[in-house]
Structure 1
Amino acid sequence: MSSTSDAMSDLNSGAPAPLDLSAGNLEDQIYHRLREALSSGRYKPGQSFTIRSLAEVYGTSPMPVRDALKRLAAEKALDVLPNRSVVVPLMSRARFQEILRVRLSLEPAVAATATELIGLEDIHRMAEDDRRMRQALADGDPKQYLALNQHFHFRLYSAAHSVVMMPIIENMWMQVGPYLHELFAASRGMQSSTEHHAELLQALRRKDSAAVAQAVHKDLADAADVVIASNHFAGDGGNPRK
């Protein structure tokens, strides 16, 4: 997880983020780094960059970068433009709400299953993620906050060992991740998230699957309310910020 965050930070700062040339396919490495970075809100809707800039960051030729970006474009996470630049797409309000309905159906269900399977060590790690999120909030560090938020949720969901629902959840997070920046701009969004995470951790320790599912549902719904209120959508009268 940290390699993705480093890569996206490096893209913005210009610092090198070399790939492990001995670890296998370069295209796959770039694909997974960018995929997780999108899920954790490293990019904002409308943000753009070039294939060449990514190739420079990763120390590769443009070809593996271009191939990785094509895969992400096929998954609706990025738009590759004819001028060889790439943009994080603005989605319509209707698309965001449709994704939300899928998430509200799947994520609480996966969380309920995970409640019976997750170990104490992972619960401790989730509590540490939550503590660090609160610190990132106090420090005014949205990138750290959003990355930890993703880690918090995915530690829980991964414990369910779902081979069907987990890939769908991962894809949904990749598409909505760029919109999570709106949470940091709205104090009520942050307050709701910390409250729901505390409720979730308490329910996990009790092995109360219904309460865990409810906390996840409230967390997703309240976050979505903040994003929808921001009106940062394409094609329906919103006023997107680049």
Structure 2
Amino acid sequence: MPPDATFAPVDRDETLAEKVYARLRSALVGGRLVPGQKLVHRQLAQDLGVSPTPVREALLRLVSEGALDLDARGIAWVPRLPRDRYAEIMELREELEGRAAARAATLATPADIAALRAIHARLMKGRRAEDGAIVLAENERFHFGVIAIARMPVLQRVVENLWTQVGPTISLLSSVPRKISPAGHPHDDLLKALEARDPAAARAAVERDLREHAAIVAPLLDPAAS
């Protein structure tokens, strides 16, 4: 009887492709790759210390997910989102992340809230120092920290896919000088809502946060970008 192909040994390149995919996806989500940036697989392979094959596989997977595009020569690049696609993604983020925040308000422990407060403190320190890399990294940790508290793994996977597509565009926030609002940061409102176990206020805080970001980024986008 022939061996069951379902449980055939995993090829080493497949394992490497997963690792490369995770590294590239993290860079997209975190805004460390910028719109228009080309990703030449041979150069990436050299940078990552792997063969070109797993890099090529990881890039094609990200293309299939809508996170990257291919040019006429088959070179992957980070797309420049048109305004309508950016608006759709942000609307979906408002709905899904708002729902997660509302759920988190019913589940967050004092330790959870303290951890989020520490993340937000680092974010604000980065804002005052005008360190865009820190701000982007801590903002990502904060938002996914809230989703983790909500314990909604299916929703989390969908949101991760949205962030993969929009992460490079989020990086445009660091290109615009922004003063800290006298009304305070929406994260402060979210932390208060979590402490008060107020789902409606938690959802409203997330929606305000995302809408304020969209109001800054959308005018920077080309309506006809691709």
Task: Identify the TM-score tier after normalising by the shorter chain.
Answer: 0.7 to 0.9
3-state SS of 2:133 partner: helix
Determine the structure 2 residue equivalent to 1:137. 127
Q: Distance in 2 between matches of 1:151 and 1:144?
A: 11
- Do the aligned residues in 2 keep the contact of 1:39 with 1:173 (CA within 8 Å)? yes
User: Is there any run of 5+ residues in structure 2 with no aligned partner, and where?
Assistant: 1-11
TM-score normalised by L of structure 1: 0.81
User: Deviation at 1:189?
Assistant: 7.3
Ranked by relative contact order (alpha carbons within 8 Å, sequence separation 6 or more), the top structure is 2
Q: Distance in 1 between matches of 2:69 and 2:179?
A: 28
- Do the aligned residues in 2 keep the contact of 1:39 with 1:174 (CA within 8 Å)? yes
TM-score normalised by L of structure 2: 0.86
Determine the structure 1 residue equivalent to 2:212. 222
User: Deviation at 1:219?
Assistant: 0.2
Q: Distance in 2 between matches of 1:136 and 1:177?
A: 18
3-state SS of 1:159 partner: helix
Q: Distance in 1 between matches of 2:183 and 2:33?
A: 20
Determine the structure 1 residue equivalent to 2:47. 57
3-state SS of 2:32 partner: coil
- Do the aligned residues in 1 keep the contact of 2:84 with 2:223 (CA within 8 Å)? no
User: Is there any run of 5+ residues in structure 1 with no aligned partner, and where?
Assistant: 1-21
Larger radius of gyration: 2
CA RMSD, Structure 1 to Structure 2 (Å):
2.3
Determine the structure 1 residue equivalent to 2:81. 91
Matched, 1:235 2:205: no
Q: Distance in 1 between matches of 2:22 and 2:108?
A: 25
* Deviations, residues 122-178 of structure 1 (Å, cap 9, x unaligned): 222211111111121222221221011010000011122213322111111111111
Determine the structure 1 residue equivalent to 2:104. 114
Identity percentage of aligned residues: 36
3-state SS of 2:34 partner: coil
